[in-house]
Amino acid sequence: MLQKPRIGVVGGGASAVSLLDALAEEPDLPAGTIMVFEASDHLWRGRPYRPDLDVVRVNAVPDDMSVRAGDSEHLYRWLANRERLVGAKASFTDPISGAQFIPRAVFGDYLEQSARTALLTLLRRGWEPELVRERVESAAHSVDGLVLRTARGATYEVDYAVLSVGAGSPADPYSLTGAEGFVKDPYPTVQELSHIDPAADVAVIGSGLTAVDVVLALTHLGHRGRIRLLSRRGVLPSVRQRRVQHVLRHFKPSRFRAMAARNETVTIADLAAIMDMELRDAGEHSSTIRRELDNVSTEAPVARLRRQLGEVDSPSIALRILQRAVPEAGPDVWPLLTELEKDRFLAGYDREFESLCCPMPPRSAAVLLSLIDSDQLSLVTGVHNVETTADGFMIETTHCDFRTGIVVSAVNGRQRKVSEEARSLVSSLVSAGLAEPHPHGGLRVERATSRLVVDSRPQPRLYALGDPAIGSIFFTVGMESLVDRAIDIVRSIRSDNAAWSQRATA
């Protein structure tokens, strides 16, 4: 007889929703107990998907944001049902590309509803769901599995634990927390930015997607003062082009999974050759990609923004093929690279690929360009320090220094090796020999199953999903990657549970 598994999910954001949905869709795992641990007040939504302004949008189309494996229409159907219930049609269509980019808050609604639906399905199948509104502080071996201890000292016995804690609040590289006029976390923007004087000069640390959200939110709130985006290089997200259908033929997950099964490795040069085959089959040339990668560093940021906005309908689909291939195959490619090749990639291409493969909607780019042309928005490069002063902040750059009264952090939270919220838990796992830090961040994880790895040996009861696996599995943040990894975890638990049950009854 199969044992009834006890599963603990540490973290209640988008990763946990993906796992719950995968579990609800798995008929061959016997009903057991599923406990979700989340102490924050934004259950299921994670940090960026709380109720907020409609101008703050998800940067991917609904096809790529489904929580249901193999069902790219899942979110579209939910949006259609939402319109019928609300009684009014909401248009989230980008006027330049014709694609839909829904508000972050609406996607948060979708995550909430998907979690509730999955929990109801599990209840009907005999599962016993439990929501624990506490943070897990430590984990250790127990006689029958694992024991999770919360911040209040409560203990919970589980057979399997899935670490799905998010990146948490952004890092504070200049130690500004607590300073008057400093906004450490801009989400939700309607709450964190609405108090800013519309006439004030605002400096935003960062130039990525979060910085774009800050600019769009401030503009929507009627901000009239100057806005500066501060960064070392001034790299903006690329502009998403009009979508085309392309099925990967060479640079596809199945190819790299087969290579992993044969214990093969690849180099960056090997991957470039495979991508070249992919592009040539589509009538494209790899020089287009190389030129775009070079342009991230060599082309002036505003000129690059203007050019890319004009290429939304480009007849070349090379960049769109890359943007399809990296999220789909990236998690399977990364483990095939040697540590030396990984270091080489991160040192030479990481920021470039982030810009190209996490593009912003064209309308967002148009708003930014309009603000730049009106001199309200500017990019400040060469930033090396931000200090508090008696009357605000001093921004120090390689070109000049200037003062400002308001600083908003738009630093990517994933720049932390481990989030503040998970630090105690991760430390306990490492101390107990249940986890091993990855040099590129997060924990070492087995690609095929997402099990934690210590001394090259997978841990049978511990898994990582999303940000905790960031060093081991490249591109952990996209919903497609989360959903695929969630399926891997559920299948691994099913297989392990069946094997364990067979041994117990032998």
How far apart are alpha carbons 237 and 101 in whole angstroms?
Answer: 16
CA dihedral 362, 367, 372, 375 (to 10 degrees): 170
How far apart are alpha carbons 215 and 411 in whole angstroms?
Answer: 14
Q: Choose among 123, 51, 164: nearest CA to 442.
A: 164
Over 80: is that where the pLDDT of 164 sits?
yes
How far apart are alpha carbons 249 and 385 in whole angstroms?
Answer: 46
Higher pLDDT, 375 or 334: 375
Q: What is the pLDDT of residue 415?
A: 53
How far separated are the first and last CA of the chain, in Å rounded? 10
How far apart are alpha carbons 214 and 367 in whole angstroms?
Answer: 12
Confidence (pTM): 0.93
Residue 163, helix vs strand vs coil:
strand
How far apart are alpha carbons 407 and 201 in whole angstroms?
Answer: 9
Confidence of residue 88 (pLDDT cuts 50, 70, 90): low
- Long-range (24+ apart) CB contacts under 8 A made by 142-150 are 145/6, 145/461, 146/8, 146/461, 146/462, 148/8, 148/10, 148/37, 150/37
Burial profile 53-82: b = 16 or more Cβ within 10 angstroms, e = fewer = bebbbbbbbbebbbbbbeeeebbbebbeee
Are residues 480 and 329 in contact, defined by beta-carbon separation less than 8 angstroms? no
Q: Average pLDDT of 225-241?
A: 94
Higher pLDDT, 189 or 502: 189
pLDDT tens track for 410-467: 987 655 567 777 889 999 999 999 999 998 888 999 988 999 999 999 998 999 999 8
pLDDT tens track for 308-352: 999 999 999 999 999 989 888 888 898 899 888 988 888 878 888
Higher pLDDT, 125 or 505: 125
Confidence of residue 86 (pLDDT cuts 50, 70, 90): confident
How far apart are alpha carbons 101 and 60 in whole angstroms?
Answer: 6
Q: What is the pLDDT of residue 474?
A: 73
Q: What is the pLDDT of residue 115?
A: 97
Delimiting residues of CATH 3.50.50.60 domain(s) in the chain: 6-48+109-168+416-505, 182-237+361-414
Confidence of residue 475 (pLDDT cuts 50, 70, 90): low
Q: What is the pLDDT of residue 399?
A: 85
Mean pLDDT over each residue of the chain, to the nearest integer: 92
pLDDT tens track for 33-70: 999 999 998 899 988 899 999 999 999 999 999 999 98
Over 60: is that where the pLDDT of 82 sits?
yes
Confidence of residue 94 (pLDDT cuts 50, 70, 90): very high
- DSSP letter for each residue of 461-497: EEEE-SGGGTTTSS--SSHHHHHHHHHHHHHHHHHHH
pLDDT tens track for 285-320: 999 999 999 999 899 999 999 999 999 999 999 999
419 exposure class (CB count in 10 Å sphere: 0-12, 13-18, 19+): buried
182-237+361-414 has CATH 3.30.70.990 classification: no
Looking at residue 410, the DSSP 8-state letter turns out to be -
How far apart are alpha carbons 393 and 179 in whole angstroms?
Answer: 9
Domain 6-48+109-168+416-505: which CATH number of 3.40.50.300, 3.50.50.60, 3.40.1410.10, 3.40.50.2000: 3.50.50.60
Over 90: is that where the pLDDT of 368 sits?
yes
Are residues 140 and 428 in contact, defined by beta-carbon separation less than 8 angstroms? yes
In the chain, the percentage of residues whose pLDDT exceeds 70 is 96
Q: Choose among 18, 109, 160, 12: nearest CA to 478.
A: 18
Q: What is the CA radius of gyration of the chain?
A: 23
Least confident of 33-37, 120-124, 284-288, 501-505: 501-505
Longest dimension (CA), the chain: 76
How far apart are alpha carbons 157 and 240 in whole angstroms?
Answer: 46
Q: What is the pLDDT of residue 1?
A: 41
